[in-house]
Amino acid sequence: MTYVLNRLLSVILTLFLITLVTFAITNILPGDVAMMIMGTQSNPEALAGLRETLGLNDPMLVQYGRWVGGMLTGEWGDSLIFKKPIAELLSQKIVASSIIVVMSMAIALGAAVPLGVWAAVHRDKWQDSVSSTTALLGVSLPDFFWGIVMILVFAKWLGWFPSSGFVDPSENFLLAVQHAFLPSLALGLGLMAHLTRMTRSTMTGILGQEFIRVARAKGLSEGTVVWSYGLRNAIGPVITIAGLQIGYLFGSIIVMESLFNYTGMGWLTYQALLNRDMPLIQATVFVIAAVVMLTNLLVDLLYLAIDPRIRLG
């Protein structure tokens, strides 16, 4: 319990630090929001006036306080390019991205765990080489390259999946999944590599242990030994790695959603960055970092639930 409480306290502190970092990064810019609203050719007096109204002449600390205060009270401001409340934009796009995040993680785990177990069971045989080569190929190709290949093969040549766009799952669930499938697959391939390696190495360690020998000696089937006895003990570190990859995933969705024109968080972040929509940049960057941090916390707690040994420590 103390552990959980400590973690929660550290979450609040980290969230605060995330706001500081976000604010700092977005304020190293030479231009400012007023310039972005009115353009570089605008009348200096009007520009000065707008700066005054937007409070850009206030000390940095005051501006920071106003930004954080606004977020705490739900006043996230408006996006400069979309001319819409940022909170509304975010809530829509987060739903869209969560589909991709969940699907790509499921694809990655669904492929990596069997592949890793397979390699561990047939250690140092050809199966092991096949598995490690596949894993290496997965990390070595940029995921947007996979994305392009998939557009070419599955969308253009075979015509099985749409090559771009987003469909709201509440309108048509099947169509929504179809639109999310190719970007998820491309992302999943990139994620798969580390997960396969991790599964292989923890599984190799577990399979060499005494209790596995005992299980075999008892006459349990090889399937039960590997999948039930072995994997249950090996899955913990794999889940930890999967949790850490959430961060990587949220970086990659920026590229992938832009490539597939899938209007989620990644796409929104990209539009914000491309158009230097400062309020939107701040909001998206903060939200992504916060989500990554909270996911990592969740994974830690999940790990705690799966593996009782940790609780004692």
CB atoms within 10 A of CB 249: 25
To another protein, the closest distance from the beta carbon of 3 in angstroms equals 17
To another protein, the closest distance from the beta carbon of 32 in angstroms equals 11
Query: Please, which residue, 233 or 269, has the CB nearer to another protein?
Result: 269
Q: Does residue 67 bind another protein (CB under 8 A)?
A: no
CB atoms within 10 A of CB 187: 29
Among 269, 279, 283, 299, binds another protein (CB under 8 A): 269
Q: Does residue 292 bind another protein (CB under 8 A)?
A: yes
Q: Which two tokens stand for residue 259?
A: 């490539």
CA–CA dist 207, 205 (Å, integer): 6
Q: What is 88-154 written as a DSSP string?
A: HHHHHHHHHHHHHHHHHHHHHHHHHHHHHHHHHHTTTSHHHHHHHHHHHHHHHS-HHHHHHHHIIII
Could you tell me the sign of the dihedral formed by the alpha carbons of 101, 106, 107, 113, in that order? positive
Interface with another protein in residues 14-43 (CB under 8 A): 14, 17-18, 21, 25-26, 28-29
Among 252, 263, 268, 280, binds another protein (CB under 8 A): 252
Nearest Cα to 182, choosing from 157, 141, 148? 148
To another protein, the closest distance from the beta carbon of 120 in angstroms equals 17
CB hemisphere CA count around 305 (13 angstroms)? 7
To another protein, the closest distance from the beta carbon of 299 in angstroms equals 13
Q: Which two tokens stand for residue 156?
A: 């253009």
Interface with another protein in residues 191-250 (CB under 8 A): 247-250
Q: Does residue 251 bind another protein (CB under 8 A)?
A: yes
Q: Rule CB under 8 A: which residues touch another protein?
A: 13-14, 17-18, 21, 25-26, 28-29, 136-137, 139-142, 144-145, 148-149, 151-152, 156, 247-252, 254-255, 258-259, 269-270, 273-274, 276, 281, 285, 288-290, 292-293, 296
